[in-house]
Structure 1
């Protein structure tokens, strides 16, 4: 992730300022934010390496699943507001990890996914693709795939989450 955020900063420094802007969220611990809220309600943010480990056991017990280790690593590496980019023709946006509400959106997404998949979690949703496909992690092998729910199909994106993030391009 460190390399991804360095690339993001390089593009930001070239004038693409929206890369580090996010809508203000009153529930987020403000140490991720920098500066003042602008007239549209956006504020600058910075990625911060996490030194606090969030134990996902309670959520795993609630859902009846043990998450692949790469998912646990994802939620325990950095706090950030946005992690997105392009792989080929696909725009990928992964789940944010925000202080104080790290797992809120993820929990909601996984519960909905489980409900829509016959109460099974063979795959864990981690984001969305620009055309509405779901970015999922195979919970046994850790591969990252695009799921087309309507067609009940999966297409391989990357061998793992780290590989996916390293492949993300910030411009098409």
Structure 2
């Protein structure tokens, strides 16, 4: 997983340097621990940021017990690899947004989403929500195989997207200009 993040964030940082001669920018959020920001908030409410190594690991035992599920290892690796404020890009013909891992916010936000999702699935957790695509459909991980799907909730269909979370992250691309 760390290699997938290194590849993705390497491409992201290169694109921002190439087109904007800067680090990535995001809207300032006072809930985010300040160490994530590389600048002060500008007049438009944006700050520079870059991913940071995560030294404190989250233990998912309590979450797994509460949801009565053993989470796929790639989910645990995802939330324990690094801190980042945004993970977005194009994969196939989809614009994908995966859950950020924000200090002071995650994994608590993910856990609340997971609990709501379990409830909506009548306490059956075959899939784990990990993000969304631009049309609002969920990006989910098959908790048994680790494969990634796009969930069409209205049609109750799951369209294959990627063989793994690592493959999805490594394969995310960017538009020509950022």
Q: What is the TM-score when the length of structure 2 is the normalising length?
A: 0.91
Distance in 1 (CA, whole Å) between partners of 2:33 and 2:81 is 17
SS across alignment from 1:75: helix
Q: Which sections of structure 1, spanning at least 5 residues, go unmatched?
A: none
Stretches of 4+ aligned residues off by more than 3 angstroms = 16-19
Aligned pair 1:141/2:145, yes or no?
A: yes
> 1:132 maps to which residue?
136
Q: How does 1:46-65 map to 2 (within 5 A)?
A: 46-65=50-69
Q: How does 1:10-25 map to 2 (within 5 A)?
A: 10-16=14-20, 20-25=24-29
Bigger drift between 78-87 and 23-32 goes to 23-32
Distance in 2 (CA, whole Å) between partners of 1:123 and 1:162 is 17
The Cα RMSD (Å) is 1.6
Distance in 2 (CA, whole Å) between partners of 1:57 and 1:66 is 9
Bigger drift between 68-77 and 49-58 goes to 49-58
> 2:105 maps to which residue?
101
Number of residue equivalences: 172
> 1:121 maps to which residue?
125
> 2:115 maps to which residue?
111
> 2:42 maps to which residue?
38
Bigger drift between 4-13 and 57-66 goes to 57-66
Q: What is the TM-score when the length of structure 1 is the normalising length?
A: 0.94
Distance in 2 (CA, whole Å) between partners of 1:65 and 1:42 is 39
Aligned pair 1:92/2:96, yes or no?
A: yes
